[in-house]
Structure 1
Amino acid sequence: MNFTRRTVLATAAATGLAFSTLASAAGYPEKPVTITVGFSAGGPTDIVARILAERLTQKFGQSFIIDNKAGASGAVAANQVKKAAPDGYTLMIGSSSTLSIIPYVQKGVQFDPIKDFTPIGLVASYPYYLTVPPDSKFKTYDDLVQFARQKGNQLTYASAGNGAINHLAGEWFKSDTGINALHVPYKGDSAAVIDLAAGRVDLAFLAGVVAIPQVQAGKLRILASASSAPEKGLKGTPVIGQAKLPGFAAEPWNGLMGPAGLPADVVTKLNSAVNEIMTSPEVKARLLTLDQYPLTGTPAQFKDFIQKQSAHWAGVIKKSNITLD
């Protein structure tokens, strides 16, 4: 075989490019990485994102920085990350409401949770609690339901925003109990808890990381848990899906995502790191103090999880006749 000078140079250039690409992938991350969070600081999604970012920073020796872009149940953040370069330096903590609810029920959503993002790894889930102000006249679950079933009695309930899991949980709760309650949306759980503690709204389904410190400070009270299993959540708390409304459960979850087209080797590297972090005894113990429960899995399992969760909440939406503008 004859090699011309041009062929040799071209081959050398291509080989050099290949080695350069491999070296770059092997060195990822080579600069700070931004993790976008679609909810306000201090909420459950933000808190677990900061724990993950802290550990990723320690593992890789590069800063993983949280960027809060609250609004539209995470859609503001999702639309921003969707347009980012798929190089691994702009990521997102995707949530159940952002990925499994609003793309299918809310008009004007400009992203597809499967086509527009690369799933990297599941991170954590947590149960919601039926929570009321500290001076509420409702001392038990039954007190609240019996009052709100009576003609002329209307309650108000707060949520993290239209399409959030605690919005759907509230509508599902209304449908199955037959109570009368008006939805009041906020930009995140931490914003909703301010008005709930002040008694400006009557109830909310809140994450433990938000509700429990307020309960300990005497600023809120918990009536029941919306956990999927009795072993999750506060011991001694009535579980709605066991004793009251069979099958009722509201457990949001989070996972790490990137824009569509993220290089497979970067995905593999990040997935391995996330799974390692979420299974470490130190992180598991820390999450449990925040009433959060680690999740792990492959990117393919994360994708399948999103699709199954979408089907589940679609059933809830249909049963409860929920509409989102």
Structure 2
Amino acid sequence: MKTSRLRRSLLLRSVAFAGMLMASKVACAEAPANWPTRPVTLVVGFAAAGPTDMIARILAEQLSIKFGQPFVVDNKPGAGGGLAAGLVRKAAPDGYTLMFASSGTLTILPHIQNSVRFDPIRDFTAVGLVANYPYFLVTPASSSIHSVDDLLKKGGESNAALTYGSAGIGATNHLAGEWLSRAKRLNATHVPYKGDSAAVADLIAGRVDFGFIAGAVAFPLVKAGKLRLLASASATPGRGPTSVKTLREAGIKGFVAEPWNGVMGPAGLPTPIVVKLNAAINDIMKRKDVVDRLAAVEQYPFTGTPQQFTASIKEQSERWGTIIKDAGIKVE
């Protein structure tokens, strides 16, 4: 009698557990289709009011409208975006914690900092590209360098001692200067600053010979007669003033210094959420009102599939990784 009751009890427990397991599986299967049902956090690894933050807020605003749930920007500056990456890497892959990532964080940081403990492909799910912007090659307005040819000719002289400024060691505009110098064997020395503002100030004053800066900063200074614009580092001709050619067109094969931003999730983010969010991002970035808002800060829509996003990460990581290794660049 006791054995019979024990068997019945074990059977009922097994049935109950199986029912709970089935309910859990159904809930998990249904969750991506219903996503989002509550606020979504978009973690930004840089301070508020910076270029990455500005684009993140434009996107978050539009996603909130599209999905009827708040997309909340959460700024977690630190370690070149590494702090935010670490937080999102450990988040649950349920679509409610995402990262608005920069190309520098994903494709440069792992190569220059030993303290970085993430792999941009293995530890994250690429969701969608959002926007990009080219750097522009500039010189002081007082410089005797008036063109790319002038720069290459002067920098190639054996007694040349050119300098170029950047936002700091490992910044994209540092690596752009390193790439140009190595590709054309320029006798040029890197001068790192604590941010773009300090580098631009010394460019204007003529204390450094050239540099790469974003159009939103460069164009007003060129118009004011403080800087001279030589070329665009975009892969796409026609960005910036119509008279400005790309460095590719100027004969620097394959040269591109064009940072981008995109949305990433933790590894294992369900495919239905990725597909739904990617489609929404692409739709938003094609709208004229959004394109106009991006253009106001010299940014351009940069849409595509999650697979194309992953390919962009791999391609840039390999390129910058090679330059960093060859130049022996390291930030502890």
TM-score in terms of structure 1 length: 0.82
CA distance in 1, matches of 2:206, 2:220: 17
2:219 matched to 1:212? yes
CA distance in 2, matches of 1:258, 1:313: 23
2:256 matched to 1:249? yes
Unmatched 5+ residue regions in structure 2? Answer: 1-7
C-alpha contact (below 8 Å) 2:130/2:262 kept by paired residues: yes
C-alpha contact (below 8 Å) 1:224/1:240 kept by paired residues: yes
CA distance in 2, matches of 1:229, 1:93: 23
Fraction of identical pairs, as percent: 53
Matches within 5 A, 1:1-325: 9-10=16-17, 13-14=20-21, 16-18=23-25, 20-21=27-28, 24-150=31-157, 153-186=160-193, 189=196, 192-197=199-204, 199=206, 201-317=208-324, 321-325=327-331
Amino acid at match of 1:323: I
Q: In 2 relative to 1, CA 43–202 (structure 1 residues): closer, same or farther, beyond 3 Å?
A: farther
Mean alpha-carbon deviation: is it higher for 242-251 or for 37-46? 37-46
C-alpha contact (below 8 Å) 1:73/1:161 kept by paired residues: no
C-alpha contact (below 8 Å) 1:73/1:163 kept by paired residues: no
C-alpha contact (below 8 Å) 1:43/1:209 kept by paired residues: no
Q: In 2 relative to 1, CA 34–160 (structure 1 residues): closer, same or farther, beyond 3 Å?
A: farther
Query: Aligned-pair distance for 1:226?
Result: 1.4
CA distance in 2, matches of 1:31, 1:109: 31
TM-score in terms of structure 2 length: 0.80
Query: Aligned-pair distance for 1:189?
Result: 4.2
C-alpha contact (below 8 Å) 1:39/1:187 kept by paired residues: no
Unmatched 5+ residue regions in structure 1? Answer: none
Q: In 2 relative to 1, CA 214–71 (structure 1 residues): closer, same or farther, beyond 3 Å?
A: farther
Amino acid at match of 1:101: I
Paired residues, number: 323
CA distance in 2, matches of 1:197, 1:41: 26
Q: In 2 relative to 1, CA 81–14 (structure 1 residues): closer, same or farther, beyond 3 Å?
A: closer
C-alpha contact (below 8 Å) 1:133/1:220 kept by paired residues: yes
Q: Please state whether the residue corresponding to 2:249 is helix, strand or coil.
A: helix
Q: In 2 relative to 1, CA 142–298 (structure 1 residues): closer, same or farther, beyond 3 Å?
A: closer
